[in-house]
Amino acid sequence: MNLTNLIRENFVRVTPETNISKIVSKMMKGEEVVVVCDENNFIGIISANDIIDRDYPIETKAKTLVRKNIPKIEGDVDFIKAAKIFLENNIKAIPIFFKDELTGLLYEKDFIMNSDCLKEIDKTTEDIASVPEVIEKNESIGKARTIIKENNISRLPVVDEEGKLIGIIDIEDFLKTVNPKESVGREDNVGDSIPEYKFPVTTIMNSNPLSIDGGISCNKAIKLLRKHDSSYILITKEKKPVGIITSKDILEMIASSVKKEGVYVQITGLGEIEDSFDMDKIDDAIEDSVKKIGRIYEDIEYIFVHIKSSQKKGERRLYSIRTRIFTPVGLYVSKSSGWNPIATIDEALGRLERQIIEEHEKQRDLKRPKNP
């Protein structure tokens, strides 16, 4: 598939000295990313995640926020390669270069909405959907942010007291709490100032989330995303959110669609871990887990391990791990968070293994003949 026509030549550039306030204002107007350039020299990219992941003061400069060492594509854009770059680096746009000059950006959303290759994949949204984390409407913005960071997710459905869907919070919605000029509120009923993170999630949520009742084919899902200019679909049952499909899930399908022997293994976010020894230990842990699960189900299609970290105090990092594995009987997902990357990944993989073993034993017991 030729992706040349998807490359956007018009995008927002900022200097290394531009502060968060100006960047957030541009993003509030619909810009998904901004490109940081020193004169004409490309430095990197800033997205909403880069701002929300850390508690930066409003006067922080772009040079502090910018993600450097972003993978570039030179010349023609390969479809599968692009999907892997989006996944491995957790970026919203890939810079496209020609003769060392930045010529445009390939945005994740544009890429997903034109992923017509999924019509050849015999799976439905129910096959690849994961059970969403949710938050009740009276909970605070601060709690919502904590749930999103600890679970390594970008969207959080909002439900009422009966668990019925009333809205959704996207990572970009938190930008409303960053810029004082775009503040969600200032004072309580006696005139005292209230921090934005204490306001209820309904203050920033999108009250018209994209949802479907039941499953549809992945190809139809792409068309629906394109029609509504969305990067997610919620699956509901009796108005309650029971599943969610995100752009990352679709990227997983594309990246693993190339047929090859064995299990497709993809680790994303390894750049969050600097120690090469840790990376080797992670590879070993995943390999061991795949072998254990393979003793139960031989035809495992793929396993993805998504790594994300957020800095708390000093050099300490809180790691959020999300694993997804597709087996002959469906999708399994596990999550974990902690300060030690190896221990956190071991915990996430352990949870994944226990889920699969418990479900396998349950199905085996159901098939056993009952004594008369």
Rounded Cα distance, 96 and 98, in Å: 7
For the stretch 12-47, pLDDT in tens is: 999 999 999 899 988 888 888 999 999 888 999 999
226, two tokens: 């394109």
In a domain, 254, yes or no: no
Q: Are residues 235 and 293 in the same domain?
A: no
Q: Give a yes or no: residue 372 inside a domain.
A: no
318 within a domain of the structure (yes/no): yes
Sorting pLDDT into bands at 50, 70 and 90, what band is 223?
confident
Q: What is the pLDDT of residues 145-199, one digit of tens each?
A: 889 888 888 899 999 999 999 999 998 888 888 765 454 554 445 444 455 678 8
Residue 278 sits in the same domain as residue 181? no
What is the per-residue pLDDT for 252?
A: 83
CB atoms within 10 A of CB 226: 15
Of 111, 95, 77, 87, nearest to 33 (Cα)? 95
Residue 148 belongs to some domain of the structure: yes
Q: Name the CA dihedral angle for 295, 298, 300, 301, rounded to a multiple of 10 degrees.
A: 160
Query: Same domain for 201 and 272?
Result: no
Q: Is 147 contained in some domain?
A: yes
Q: pTM score, two decimals? A: 0.78
Q: What is the pLDDT of residues 296-333, one digit of tens each?
A: 887 888 888 888 877 665 667 788 888 989 888 888 88
Number of domains in the chain: 3
Instruction: In whole angstroms, give the CA distance from residue 148 to residue 154.
Output: 6
Range of the domain at 100: 4-114
21: left (phi over 0), alpha (psi -120 to 50) or beta: alpha
Q: Is the separation of the CB atoms in 52 and 144 below 8 Å?
A: no
Task: Tell me, yes or no, whether 343 lies in a domain.
Answer: yes
3-state secondary structure (DSSP) of residue 91? coil
For residues 126 and 180, membership in a common domain is answered with yes
The lowest-confidence range among 33-37, 74-78, 80-84, 256-260 is 256-260
Compute CA distances 14 → 20, 63, 96, 103, 293, whole Å. Answer: 11, 10, 17, 16, 48
Lowest-confidence region among 51-60, 138-147, 258-267 = 258-267
Check if the beta carbon of residue 46 is closer than 8 Å to that of residue 23.
yes
- The verdict on 236 and 344 lying in the same domain is no
What's the confidence (pLDDT) of residue 314? 64
Q: What is the pLDDT of residues 247-287, one digit of tens each?
A: 888 888 777 776 566 788 888 776 666 665 677 888 888 88
Higher pLDDT, 220 or 133: 133
Question: Residue 130 belongs to a domain with what CATH number?
Answer: 3.10.580.10
Average pLDDT, the chain: 83
Nearest CA-CA partner of 55 in 347, 290, 243, 311 = 311
Share of the chain above pLDDT 70, in %: 87
Q: Write down the pLDDT at residue 258.
A: 67
Range of lowest pLDDT (146-155, 226-235, 248-257, 337-346): 248-257
Residues 99, 90: Cα–Cα separation, whole Å: 25
Give the sheet arrangement for strand 13-14, strand by strand: 13-14, 33-38, 41-47
- Give the CATH number of the domain where residue 264 resides: 3.30.160.100
Tell whether 102 and 143 lie within a shared domain: no
**In what helix (H) or strand (E) does residue 286 lie, and over which residues does it extend?**
helix 276-294
pLDDT of residue 273: 67
Q: Last residue of a domain, which of 224, 249, 274?
A: 249
Q: Would you put residue 335 in left (φ > 0), alpha (ψ -120 to 50) or beta? A: beta
Kindly state whether residues 236 and 303 are assigned to the same domain. Answer: no
* Strand ranges (E), 202-289: 211-213, 232-237, 240-246, 264-268
Structural domain includes residue 169: yes
Q: Are residues 183 and 283 in the same domain?
A: no
Q: Tell whether 89 and 66 lie within a shared domain.
A: yes
Name the domain boundary from 249, 277, 293.
249
Residue that is last in its domain, among 225, 249, 273: 249
Q: Which residues have CB under 8 Å from 284's CB, separation 6+?
A: none
Q: What is the pLDDT of residue 162?
A: 95
Please tell me whether residues 154 and 206 are part of one structural domain.
yes
Band of residue 119 on the pLDDT scale cut at 50, 70, 90: low
Query: Where does the pLDDT of residue 74 fall: very low under 50, low under 70, confident under 90, or very high at 90 and above?
Result: confident
Residue 38 within a domain: yes
Do both 185 and 215 map to the same domain?
yes
SS3 call for 340:
coil
Which token pair is 183? 């503040």
67 and 149, same structural domain?
A: no
Using alpha carbons, list the distances in angstroms from residue 302 to 3, 80, 180, 264, 329: 25, 15, 44, 4, 13
State percent of the chain over pLDDT 90. Answer: 30
Highest mean pLDDT among 171-180, 190-199, 347-356, 361-370: 347-356
